Amino acid sequence: MGPLILLQEIIKLINPSTLFEVFWATLLGITVGMMPGLTATMGIALLTGLTFQWATGDAILILICMYVGAIYGGSRSAILINVPGTPAAAATVFDGYPLARSGRAGEAIGLATTASFLGSMIGLFFLSFFTPWLGSIALEFRSFEFFWLSLFGVIICGNLTAPKDPLKGWISGVLGLFLAMVGMDVIQAFPRYTGGSIELSGGLSLIPALVGLYGIPEVLSGLAESQIQEKAMQIKRVIPRMRDLWDNRKNIVRSGIIGVIIGAIPGVGENIASYVAYDFAQKGSKHPEKFGKGAEEGLIAAETANNACVGGAIIPVLALAVPGSPPAAVLMAAMWLHGMRPGPLLMLETPNYVYEVSAMFLIATLAMLVLGLSMVRTMVKVLNVRNSILMPIVFILCAIGSFAIAGRTFDILIMLIFGVIGYGIRKMDYADAPFILGLILGDMLDENLRRSLMLTSGAVMPLFTRPICIVLIALIVLTIVARNAHFKEMMSETRESVTKTLGFGRKKRP
Amino acid sequence: MDEKQMAKADFVTAIVMIVAGIIILAFTLSFPRFAEWGGIYSNPGFTPFLLVLALVGMYIYLLFRSLKRGGNQIRITGERVGKFFRTPMVKRYFICLGLFVLYYLFLGRIPFILDTSLYLFFSILIFGGGKWLKALVISVATSFAVYLVFLRIFLVPLP
C-alpha cells in the first residue's frame, strides 16, 4: 500500500504552480546554503514566518525545498572558496576544495550534486517506509516514555554536538529546557516567569527565538569580525562520470545509511552525519592517504550522508514529535504553527501525511538535482557578494520573518535577545543544537513528567520499570558515562583482554 | 578563545549562573501549589525547579573545573577594560548591536521603508560595503524591493 499512496501523493504535486514553487524555493535554498553564514535552520525559520499566511501544504512544501536545497547548497562554497556554506558541508571542504584547486571544480560540484541526490533518495526510502513502522511503536509510548525520550534527546544531542566539552552541551540543553518553561504551563495554565507580560504568557515565540539564535550571530560575526572573502573559482564540466559513481556504490550506500541513522538521533544533525560518514569512508578506503588531498570518495561520503540525514531527521519529527536536527526542529515548529500535530497520533489521524511529506521531499530532491547540475556558473556569482552588504540585508529579513508570524514588534526583541544569547553560546563553545532541542522539547518534558506522576499519585517506580523506560534510561546513563575518561579506559582494557583471550584482533596496517 | 581565556570566561559565567539559579530557585518556590491536583509533583514550579537545580549543579562543577585551570586569576583594571573596548572587533560588535537596537526602536514609529533604508545605509557605510552613493542606492533599492516582495508576494504584514 505504501508505495501506491506515495505515488498518488507525487502525482498530486505535479502541476505547474506547485512545480514553480518547488523550483524557486529549492533555488533559494541552494543560494542560502551557498552563502557562508546563512544556514538551513535560519533559512527555514525565515521562510516559516514569510509563508505563515499560506496554505499548510504549500508552506510545508516550500520549507522542505528550502531544507533540501540549503543542505546541498553548502557544498558549493565548500568546494569553491574553502568555506562551508552550512555546518553540514564542513566535511565537504576536506576533499572538495583540493579537487577544485586541482582544476576539477565543476567535476567536484557534479559529484557533490549527484551524491546529495543519492543520499536524499536513501533518506526518502527510510522516511517513507520506516516512519509508519516507528510510528506504530511510538503508539506504545505514554507520558513516562515521552519524559525519558525528551531527556534522552537533549542529553545525546549535548553529547554529540559538543564533543570537546559535553558538559557545556548538556548545560545548553537544560538551559533550553528551562527557557521553554517561560509562559503559561500546560496543565494549570499558571504563568511562569512572565513578569506580568502578556506577550510572554504564551511562552517564548519559537520562530523568532530560532531566527535570532541562528541568524543574528552570523550577522554579528559577518560584520564585526572582518574576514577575508575568497573569490569563487572558474567552473568547467559539471556532469559527473557514471563510472565514478559506480566505483563508489558501497561508499554511497554506507554513507546514506549512516546519514539516516544519525539523522534519526534527536537533534544531532547533518554536520555530525557527514563527519562520521567521511571517517568511515576513509577507514574503508583502499587509498586512505588520498583523503584530505582531493579524494572523490571523501567528497561523496560527506555529501551523501548530509543529505540522507535530512530524510532521517524528519523521521522522528513525524513519528515521535522529536526533531532529528536543528533544521528539522524548525520544520516541526512550522508544522505546529500550521495546525499539524506531528507525533504518534499522526499515524492514526492522518496516516497518509508521511507519504505526503515523502512526496514533497522527493520533488524537492529532483529539483535540487536539476538546479544543481544547471545554472552553476550563474549561481556561484552570489558568492562574490560582500558580507558588509549581505549581512545587513539578512538582518532585515530576520526582523521581518520574526515579525510576520504574530505581527508583534515584541517578537523582534525576542529575536535580538536570543541573537545575543546565540552569539555568546558560540563564542563560549556551548553547542546551539541542544539549546534549540531543549526549547522545543521543554513542554513535552514538563507535561509528561508531571502527568505521569499525577497518574501514579506520585509513585516514581513506573517511571523506572516500564520496558521502554528502562531502555531509554540505559541509553541516557550510557551516553553520560561514555564520556567519562575512566569508563573509556575500562572499555579499552576490556576490549584488549577479550581480544587476547579469544586470540583474534585486527592486524595493524604496515 | 584559548584555554586560559575560556577558563576565565567559564569562571565568571559559572558564578553569574549559580547566583541567578539560586534566585530563580527561590522565586520558583513562591509558585502557588494546586493541592487539588495532587502532591508537590503537580505544581507548575516542579519541573523548572528540577531543571534549575540541575543547571546549578552543572555550573558548580564548571566552576570547580575552571578553578583548577586557573580561571580565577582575573585582574580587572581600568586600563585593561579600556583596551578591551578599544579593540576594533569589540567596537564593531557594539556598533552592530547599536544599529540593531536603533532599528528596532524606530520600527513602527517611522515608516518601514525609511527605517530600513537608514539602517542599511549606515550599516553598509560603517562596515565598508561601499561609498555613500553606493550605500544609498543599495539601501533604498533594497528597502523598496523588500517592501514590495513581502507585502505583495508573501502577503506578510510589515511593521
Read off the pLDDT of residues A167-189 as tens digits, 9 standing for 90 and up: 999 999 999 999 999 999 988 89
User: Given the C-alpha cell 542606492, which residue does it identify?
Assistant: B137
| Ramachandran assignment for B130, one of left (phi > 0), alpha (psi -120 to 50 degrees), beta (any other) | left
Q: Report how many helices (DSSP H) and strands (DSSP E) chain A contains, helices first.
A: 24, 2
Q: With beta carbons less than 8 A apart as the criterion, state whether A505 and A499 touch.
A: yes
**What average pLDDT is seen over chain A?**
88
In this structure, are strands A183-184 and A191-192 parallel, antiparallel, or unpaired? antiparallel
Q: Give yes or no for B13 touching A (CB within 8 A).
A: yes
| CA dihedral for A323, A325, A326, A331, sign (positive or negative) | negative
First-residue to last-residue Cα distance in chain A: 53
Read off the pLDDT of residues A115-147 as tens digits, 9 standing for 90 and up: 999 999 999 999 998 998 888 888 888 899 999
Sort out which chain A residues have CB atoms less than 8 A from B120's CB and list them: 392-393, 396
Distances B91 to A40, A224, A350, A423, B100 between C-alpha atoms, Å: 29, 8, 54, 16, 14
The DSSP 8-state label assigned to residue A337 in this structure reads: H
Read off the pLDDT of residues B42-82 as tens digits, 9 standing for 90 and up: 999 999 999 999 999 999 999 999 999 988 888 878 888 88
Given this model, what pLDDT does residue A510 score?
42
Read off the pLDDT of residues A149-169 as tens digits, 9 standing for 90 and up: 999 999 988 888 887 788 999
Higher-scoring residue by pLDDT: A230, B73: B73
Residues 6 or more apart in contact with residue A312 via CB below 8 angstroms: A123, A126, A127, A259, A260, A261, A262, A263, A264, A273, A324
Residue B38 banded pLDDT, cuts 50, 70, 90: confident
User: Given the C-alpha cell 577575508, which residue does it identify?
Assistant: A228
Length of chain A: 510
Q: Report how many helices (DSSP H) and strands (DSSP E) chain B contains, helices first.
A: 6, 0
Instruction: Look up the pTM and report it.
Output: 0.85
Flag whether pLDDT at A48 surpasses 60.
Answer: yes
Q: Give yes or no for A459 touching B (CB within 8 A).
A: no
Q: Which of B37, B51, B154 sits opposite A51 (nearest CB)?
A: B154
DSSP of A349-400: H-TTHHHHHHHHHHHHHHHHHHHHHSSHHHHGGGGGS-HHHHHHHHHHHHHH
The DSSP 8-state label assigned to residue A100 in this structure reads: I
Shortest CA gap B42–chain A (Å): 6
Q: Which of A413, A429, A454 sits opposite B104 (nearest CB)?
A: A413
Shortest CA gap A261–chain B (Å): 29
Which residue of B lies nearest to A188 if distances are taken between CA atoms?
B44
Interface of A with B in 22-61 (CB under 8 A): 49-54
- Which residues, in sequence order, are bridge partners of residue A183? A192
DSSP of A297-318: HHHHHHHHHHHHHHHHHHHHHH
Q: Give yes or no for B57 touching A (CB within 8 A).
A: no
Residues 6 or more apart in contact with residue A231 via CB below 8 angstroms: A81, A384
Interface of A with B in 361-400 (CB under 8 A): 386-389, 391-393, 395-397, 399-400
Q: Give yes or no for B5 touching A (CB within 8 A).
A: no
With CB atoms and an 8 Å threshold, state whether B129 touches A181: no
Backbone angles phi, psi at A505, to 5 degrees: 175, 165
Closest to A429 in 3D by CA, of A242, A169, A98: A169
Whole-angstrom Cα distance, residue A276 to residue A78?
A: 18
The DSSP 8-state label assigned to residue A324 in this structure reads: S
Distances A376 to A76, A116, B64 between C-alpha atoms, Å: 9, 15, 53
Whole-angstrom Cα distance, residue A163 to residue A119?
A: 25
- Show the cell assigned to A212: 535570532
Shortest CA gap B79–chain A (Å): 23
Shortest CA gap B74–chain A (Å): 17
Q: How large a percentage of chain B has pLDDT more than 70?
A: 99
Q: With beta carbons less than 8 A apart as the criterion, state whether A69 and A364 touch.
A: yes
Given this model, what pLDDT does residue B18 score?
97
Residues 6 or more apart in contact with residue A432 via CB below 8 angstroms: A172, A213, A214, A326, A422, A425, A426
